């Protein structure tokens, strides 16, 4: 399988532990280096590349393509969908997870436990997002900022269909009651969708 925007390879290692032969692609040389250092499995291969231009990766070569929390970080998704389609075998699945288009917006504030959005859902100006850590031991330790390219739901789904995919399922998960009891900060995500998960297939 192929992991687009694999970062330091956490999911590549997870899928490999379950028996998959995995290729991870990421644009960051630092993260590809960290991924290579984190595992010496001969069944994980890393490629430093943009997922919008997969270069030497041959057509119809993967059973599955996944992308976890990476497509919102790219100014361009049309080519990413076209490339995912090109490298998948006919009948293969493409699974991607993004920060929900409804939620991934600039100028948000939490008022009485709910998000208020001062930026329109239709606003497409990129913005910087600073990661907020909940855990006390790392709260002020890191300053991780990522550039975000907000898109509406249709700006993801229409290019996906145009690339040739059939849409199979969409999920908008919310925290379980067990998670809500354990972590108060999850209450917000019981009211607003944090993730959007999409399953699409390349036709046979």
Instruction: Check residue 70 for interaction with ligand SAM (CB under 6 A).
Output: yes
Closest approach of Cβ 115 to ligand SAM, in Å? 20
Measure the CA–CA gap between 127 and 111, rounded to whole angstroms. Answer: 21
Element holding 13 (H helix, E strand):
helix 10-17
Q: Is 52 in the site for ligand SAM (CB under 6 A)?
A: yes
Q: What are the Cα distances from residue 73, in Å, to 4, 47, 52, 104, 125? A: 12, 18, 12, 11, 13
Interaction between residue 7 and ligand SAM (CB under 6 A): yes
- Per-residue contact flags (x/-) with ligand SAM for residues 120 to 139, judged by CB under 6 A: --------------------
Q: Does 180 sit near ligand SAM (CB under 6 A)?
A: no
Q: Which one of residues 31, 35, 77, 98 is an interface residue with ligand SAM (CB under 6 A)?
A: 31
Q: Does 79 bind ligand SAM (CB under 6 A)?
A: no
Q: Which tokens belong to 204?
A: 């046979």
By CB under 6 A, name the one of 36, 73, 180, 195 that touches ligand SAM: 73
Residue 72 backbone class (left: φ over 0; alpha: ψ -120 to 50; beta: rest): alpha
Q: Is residue 74 at the binding interface for ligand SAM, with CB under 6 A as the rule?
A: yes
Beta strand pairing status for 127-130 and 145-148?
Answer: antiparallel
């Amino acid at each position: 399988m192929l992991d687009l925007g694999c970062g330091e390879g956490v999911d590549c290692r997870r899928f490999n532990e379950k028996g998959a032969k995995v290729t991870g692609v990421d644009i960051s040389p630092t993260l590809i280096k960290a991924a290579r250092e984190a595992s010496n499995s001969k069944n994980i291969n890393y490629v430093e590349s943009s997922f919008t231009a997969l270069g030497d990766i041959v057509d119809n070569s993967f059973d599955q393509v996944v992308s976890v929390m990476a497509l919102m970080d790219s100014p361009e998704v049309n080519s990413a969908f076209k490339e995912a389609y090109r490298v998948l075998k006919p009948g293969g699945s493409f699974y991607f997870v993004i920060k929900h288009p409804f939620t991934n917006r600039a100028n948000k504030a939490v008022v009485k436990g709910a998000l208020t959005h001062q930026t329109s859902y239709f606003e497409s100006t990129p913005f910087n997002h600073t990661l907020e850590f909940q855990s006390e031991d790392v709260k002020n330790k890191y300053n991780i900022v990522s550039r975000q390219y907000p898109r509406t739901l249709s700006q993801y789904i229409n290019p996906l269909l145009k690339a040739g995919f059939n849409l199979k399922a969409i999920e908008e998960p919310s925290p379980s009651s067990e998670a809500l009891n354990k972590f108060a900060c999850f209450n917000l995500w019981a009211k607003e969708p944090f993730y959007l998960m999409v399953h699409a297939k390349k036709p046979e």
